[in-house]
Structure 1
Amino acid sequence: MISRIKRRHVIIGMLFVCWVVGFLDKTAINIAIIPISEEFGLTPDHQGMIISAFFLAYSMTQLIGGYLVDRLGSRRVLSSAVAVWSLGTVVSGAVTSAVGLAAARAVTGAGEAIFPAGGSVAITENFEKTQMARAKSVLQSGASVGFALGSIVITSLIAFYSWRLMFFALGAVGLVLAIMLYCVMPPRSDTLVAKDAGAKISEKQRIAGLLKNTLTWKIASVYFFTNIVFWGLQSWLPSYWVKVKGMSMMEMGAYSMIPPTLGFVSFLTCGWLLDRFFHQKEKYLICIGSAVSAVFIYLMANAESIPLAFAYLSVSNVFLNAISISVFVSIMKHFPHNSVGTATGLINSLAQLGSFASPMLIGAVLSATNQNYGIAFSVIVGCAVIVCAIATTFPAIHSKKIVEQTA
């Protein structure tokens, strides 16, 4: 028993570190695009397309990644995913054109697409259901740590060296982690899922059950608009702070550590709240998170003071995290173990179309309005309101009933 508990801690710790580095790789382009656009002479539309290339591949690979994790287990698929996205990051530092950079970012996105479903499957393979929200919150908090570290690490590497060396360094670290992850994770025969004597259903029944479940599509819609909000902010705020607010790269990087640092705490807190008070009531946390986020994004967009604007951004980030963790916990707790990867992949595949569209959407709005960020932020606030409206329609269905529907 002791060795199993220790192994769980090592597994979730290793997954956490991989996702920290994954988010460094994922968000590096949002800062690097500033010097890259100067070097390559990119317009806002072209910048948006390069950033969106990651999310297009990220969306397209989600479903097949989730399916592979359900079939092959998390060990082989996750370690391979980390290796693929790290290679894409290395290549990003070697490109000589905007097209090459977009292609390299697509490879990075294809690798990272597998991690959300793979991480959820790894948790269901190794943790009891009463521990899943807290385990998932630890893993999800890696995103906040990645954002916080990225703000200072990426800006420092670019400022003191170059954007190319920054990509090389991040990719090399990821390749080492891919090997370590494979060594740490157990074969599927040693996991809890392998010992679970659940009902056997055909592949056709399993997929059909997911597609016919209305909750599948409502969760996907919520996460679609949440991603427009989140990545609309992440993709364009660095340029906003530097070009509109007149911040230096280093100053912007230092300030940008604040929201994700608080977000780290919020992920852990939300995981505890979901296990303790919102079990089978995740929709209420989604409604609260989206409503509060909309208010504070609006306040951020209209704040004159930079410290005050970052304070508002920090609050909105905390509540956006509440939506994200609630979405993934809903899937893990309300769908059968043998369908968690596929369900996560399907939902995330549809939802990541929002991540893909968001940078281009905001870029197009900025181009059409002569760089009017006020209008761009209004679009983002509107999407947060839509998230709240959809979440109110979630059915109040107990876990058992949803499992029966998907089986």
Structure 2
Amino acid sequence: MVVNFADKIVVGLAGVPITRALKLTPEQFGLLGSSFFFLFSISAVAVGFLVNRVATRWVLLVLALIWAVAQFPMVGEVSFTTLLICRIILGAGEGPAFSVAAHAIYKWFPDDRRTLPTAILSQGSAFGVILAVPALNWIIVNHSWHYAFGALGIVGLMWAAAWLALGKEGPLVPTAAAAAAEPRIPYARLLTSRTFVGCVVATFGAFWAMSLGLTWFTTYIVAGLGFSQHDAGLISILPWVFGAAIVLCTGAVSQALTTRGVSTRLARGVLGSLPLIAGGVILLTLPLIDSPGLRIAALVVGSGLCGSIYVVCPPMIAEFAPVSQRGAAIAIYGALYTLAGIVAPLVMGAVVQGAAAPNDGYLLGYMINGAVMIGAGLLGLLLLWPNTERARLLNAAAPAAVGLRTPA
């Protein structure tokens, strides 16, 4: 996940020099940010069904090779179209990454021990940015944004070699007999269950903020607030540092609560939803803040709070999805909430381009982000009931199964 998010952040980090070199409008840059997600969801679903049957070790290896190879065309002179196509290919390779990785680590930890490992896995995103931004920004400032892409390609190949040597499957894999005995839930019922829908909606709101952080945050710091590229690179780390602390705290608190017998409705559902609402409220206050430093602080805290939902949703889905369907269920969840990555950068680009002054457009774009987060958090509070979801699904399936066995 460190490599995965370093790959994601590079376009946002180099947004200003890329825009100048390729003479892009705000709408074109928004399209570039969104293009990463064009095949993201489709590949996530396809690979999610694949990992129900294929070892995650090999799937992650192939995905990482795709990430690495997709970076190298940008080392030389490149057109907007080529950059767009490479980002689409990269998104197709990275779409299934978190879902497959979560499915892989759940083969090592039972249900009541999964929240903290999920939090640590999620922190690959933060550390990917924290570690990559200073190095990539140094390359961008002192050499060229082209070489930043090349460096990421080399790192991706190095990780693939290490994973080939060290990666293994966990022991918590059901036998064929156990898998056959486990009740299956029709996907139509599984994917329309209220907790699954709640996870998708809540994380959609969080990912709206993340996709703006990946694409527009550094550009706003430079073009909207007037900081230099060097300073903006350092500032760009702050949301991820704060988010890392939030995610790790959420994972530790949630796991402590579940091991003490607190229902997962509270220890996961409520604990993940409330920070979304609080973060959205903070973003709505941005127009009331005049100081650039305080605006950055509000963006850091408001966007960082939404990280809690990433920790609790995969374990909630794993609570009620049968093991034989878990990989696909988590992948489909990821495919749906990451659709925010297509919409959010485009919305911000359109708002900035249509505003009387760019700074007004940025503020409106972040206020829209805040409203989305509040709505997503409120729906999460309403819908997330993982502690009773499996029983509801199995009870709903039982009459249908009895009806099939009843003679006409």
User: Normalising by the residue count of structure 2, what TM-score does the alignment of the two structures yield?
Assistant: 0.88
- Which of 23, 28, 41 matches 2:5? 23
Residue 143 (1) aligns with residue 125 (2): yes
Conserved? CA contact 1:70–1:342, under 8 Å: yes
Pick closer, same or farther for the CA change 1:67–1:264 going to 2, 3 Å: same
Q: Could you list the per-position Cα deviations for residues 333-362 of structure 1 after superposition, in whole angstroms to 9, with x for gaps in the alignment? A: 332222221011111111111111110111
The letter of the residue matching 2:343 is A
SS in 2 for 1:157: helix
SS in 2 for 1:155: helix
For 1:261 and 1:196, locate their aligned partners in 2 and report how far apart those are by CA, in whole Å.
Answer: 43
Where does residue 374 of structure 1 map in the other structure? 363
Where does residue 56 of structure 2 map in the other structure? 74
For 2:62 and 2:342, locate their aligned partners in 1 and report how far apart those are by CA, in whole Å.
Answer: 23
For 1:63 and 1:203, locate their aligned partners in 2 and report how far apart those are by CA, in whole Å.
Answer: 22
- Which of 276, 280, 291 matches 1:305? 291
Residue 228 (1) aligns with residue 202 (2): no
1:149 CA displacement: 2.4
Residue 247 (1) aligns with residue 236 (2): no
Where does residue 102 of structure 2 map in the other structure? 120
Where does residue 167 of structure 1 map in the other structure? 149
Conserved? CA contact 1:298–1:381, under 8 Å: yes
Where does residue 293 of structure 1 map in the other structure? 279
Where does residue 211 of structure 1 map in the other structure? 191
Conserved? CA contact 1:218–1:391, under 8 Å: yes
Where does residue 257 of structure 2 map in the other structure? 277
The letter of the residue matching 1:259 is P
Residue 389 (1) aligns with residue 373 (2): no
The letter of the residue matching 1:404 is L
Residue 179 (1) aligns with residue 169 (2): no
1:301 CA displacement: 5.1
Higher helix share: 1
1:194 CA displacement: 4.0
The letter of the residue matching 1:244 is G
1:214 CA displacement: 3.2
Where does residue 36 of structure 2 map in the other structure? 54
Q: Could you list the per-position Cα deviations for residues 79-129 of structure 1 after superposition, in whole angstroms to 9, with x for gaps in the alignment? A: 111111111122333462111101000111111112111111111112222
Conserved? CA contact 1:57–1:110, under 8 Å: yes
- Where does structure 1 lack aligned partners over 5 or more consecutive residues? 1-18
Pick closer, same or farther for the CA change 1:130–1:192 going to 2, 3 Å: same
Pick closer, same or farther for the CA change 1:97–1:129 going to 2, 3 Å: same
Segment of structure 1 superposing worse, 270-279 or 159-168: 270-279
Where does residue 11 of structure 1 map in the other structure? none
Q: Tell which structure's C-alpha radius of gyration is larger.
A: 2
Pick closer, same or farther for the CA change 1:92–1:217 going to 2, 3 Å: farther
Pick closer, same or farther for the CA change 1:244–1:123 going to 2, 3 Å: same
For 1:402 and 1:36, locate their aligned partners in 2 and report how far apart those are by CA, in whole Å.
Answer: 51
Residue 335 (1) aligns with residue 321 (2): yes
Q: Could you list the per-position Cα deviations for residues 354-388 of structure 1 after superposition, in whole angstroms to 9, with x for gaps in the alignment? A: 11111011111111223222221221111011112
Aligned residues: 387
Where does residue 42 of structure 1 map in the other structure? 24
- Which of 338, 346, 349 matches 1:352? 338
User: Normalising by the residue count of structure 1, what TM-score does the alignment of the two structures yield?
Assistant: 0.88
Pick closer, same or farther for the CA change 1:92–1:210 going to 2, 3 Å: farther
SS in 2 for 1:398: helix
Q: Once the two structures are aligned, what percentage of the paired residues are identical?
A: 23
Pick closer, same or farther for the CA change 1:67–1:406 going to 2, 3 Å: farther
Conserved? CA contact 1:65–1:117, under 8 Å: no
Please provide the CA RMSD for this pair: 2.4
Segment of structure 1 superposing worse, 240-249 or 259-268: 259-268
SS in 2 for 1:393: helix
Where does residue 323 of structure 1 map in the other structure? 309
1:212 CA displacement: 4.2
Where does residue 401 of structure 1 map in the other structure? 391
The letter of the residue matching 1:142 is G
Segment of structure 1 superposing worse, 108-117 or 228-237: 228-237
SS in 2 for 1:55: coil
For 2:303 and 2:347, locate their aligned partners in 1 and report how far apart those are by CA, in whole Å.
Answer: 20
The letter of the residue matching 2:228 is S
For 2:207 and 2:192, locate their aligned partners in 1 and report how far apart those are by CA, in whole Å.
Answer: 24
For 2:396 and 2:245, locate their aligned partners in 1 and report how far apart those are by CA, in whole Å.
Answer: 33
Segment of structure 1 superposing worse, 167-176 or 229-238: 229-238
